[in-house]
Amino acid sequence: MRAFIERQHGMVQRPALVCVDLETTGASVERDRITEIGLVEVLDGEVQAWSSLVNPQQAIPPFITRLTGIDDAMVADAPRFDALAEEVWSRLQGKLFVAHNARFDYGFLKQAFAGVGLTFRAPVLCTVKLSRKLYPQHYKHNLDALVERHQLPSDATRHRALSDARLLWHFLQAAEAELGAEVVWQAVAEMLQGPVLPPGLDAESLDQLPDGPGAYQLWGEQGPLYVGKASHLRKRILTHFSDKPTKGLPPGLGAQVRRIEHVSTCGELGASLLEAQWVQQHQPAANPQGRAGAEVLSWVLQRVGEEVFRPALVSLRDPLPDGQACHGLYRSPREAQQALRKLAERYQLCLIHLGLEQPGRQVNSPCFAFQGRKCAGACVGREPLSFHSARLMTALGKLRLAEWPYPGPVLLQEPDSSGLHADWHALYQWRYLGSAPTEAAAIDLLQAPLPPFDAELYRILQSTLRRYPQDRVHRVLVRPSRQGGM
């Protein structure tokens, strides 16, 4: 891409370009279709415009019709994309692909060409990003803002493909007039400089990445290196190949990547759930919580006498009795014991009766904390064990894990940004059983056994369920097979 912008007599030259705008049935590249294409080609000073309606072979939602003016009747007799593919292909070849929020238009055309057996690639210039680079003093860079700021000529067919494509060409001309062509195209040249990719990973892999939310996996020669999520997948993944180190990740991670896998989601919740599930499954070394063999431990209270309880450390990957309360989440016995020691000091609990210290050879030998006046004396008989147990319950009560707030499984409906599609997340007992595009398919996911308890999923779901719109929480009667702790 670097050689696409050429110099003549030391000056950066405007390349052959095509300004592109599409109208579609929605925002999903996978599910929605193109309804109109508008192209403005600029080559050696010659400007040529072309446009066509496209039969999407699916219904156009009413709110899309209100925005664009394109309805089902208008496209009923229009050609399908396969009939237009050769014409569109010839007009795009060898030119800089210019669009506003360019990944949207580029992604739709790439998907449409793939549907007719063609692999489309082109250098891409996003005029949103160009406007931000050229005019950083301004906050808004949407097309309406550019029209107003630069006094771009606009007609009554605004929000139609050709009209908006023309606006992009007018914006480029306005920027050249205001800042000079050299400044504009030097900025473009800098923007087209892609990241330095490791061997075996080509630019095509990055071109296929969507801009929306989702989760991703970076794979090396020996297996998964890292699992992540993002609200903008492509932007996030590209950071792994930039010169700047990614905070919290080992240096040189990008150089080890040989393959990228991703799944698009309707929203950020789905991305977070999928990320946590993949970390649990693959345990990649670069993920802090992904260490192989990592345990999830918690304290429970075991009855050892009348109104007398002692703490016991259990693994939440093992089945627990129904109604068993758990307290705290820990990655190791050492971490759990340190937390219990802090509670012991605060609530004057006996280290011997907590199991943190071995009793002396003599009956009623004092614990170390009693000698430092930090134990109320359960070890020496000064305090009844029932009193000690009551204080222990109070102390651990601060760490008690929340109970599952529903009588059975639930499906969380998460719509995408357009409101036309949704992911249905199957959940039960703080477990994530998967996502599906329909309610019926999500209910089928509930037939699977419960996976092991995962601390990160618990944190995600506890935070989410407190604020999730209740009209999107759907209760179901099917109960998954019980497996795993809690």
Residue with tokens 């059983």: 433
CA 290 from centroid of its chain's CA atoms: 18
Is pLDDT of 2 > 70?
A: no
In DSSP terms, 298 is beta-bridged to 314
Ordered alpha helix ranges (H), 123-267: 127-134, 143-150, 161-179, 181-191, 203-207, 233-238
- 352 vs 378: CA distance, rounded Å: 9
Q: What's this model's pTM, rounded to 2 decimal places?
A: 0.71
Kindly give, in sequence order, each residue whose CB lies less than 8 Å from that of residue 445, ignoring residues fewer than 6 positions away: 426, 433, 434, 435, 436
pLDDT in tens, 261-278: 999 999 999 999 999 999
Residue 1 confidence (pLDDT): 40
Average model confidence (pLDDT) across the chain:
89
- Give the three-state DSSP class for 186: helix
For range 94-114, the mean pLDDT = 94
C-alpha closest to that of 107 among 233, 290, 252, 271:
233
Please state the φ and ψ torsions of residue 5, each to the nearest 5 degrees.
-90, 120
- 320 vs 300: CA distance, rounded Å: 10
Is pLDDT of 9 > 70?
A: no
pLDDT in tens, 115-146: 999 989 899 999 999 999 999 999 999 999 99
Confidence of residue 45 (pLDDT cuts 50, 70, 90): confident
Confidence of residue 327 (pLDDT cuts 50, 70, 90): very high
Of 25-39, 45-59, 99-113, 187-201, least confident by mean pLDDT is 187-201
Ordered alpha helix ranges (H), 93-150: 102-114, 127-134, 143-150
CATH code of the region 2-191: 3.30.420.10
Residue 241 confidence (pLDDT): 84
For range 81-88, the mean pLDDT = 97
For range 222-226, the mean pLDDT = 91
CATH superfamily ID and name for 203-290: GIY-YIG endonuclease (3.40.1440.10)
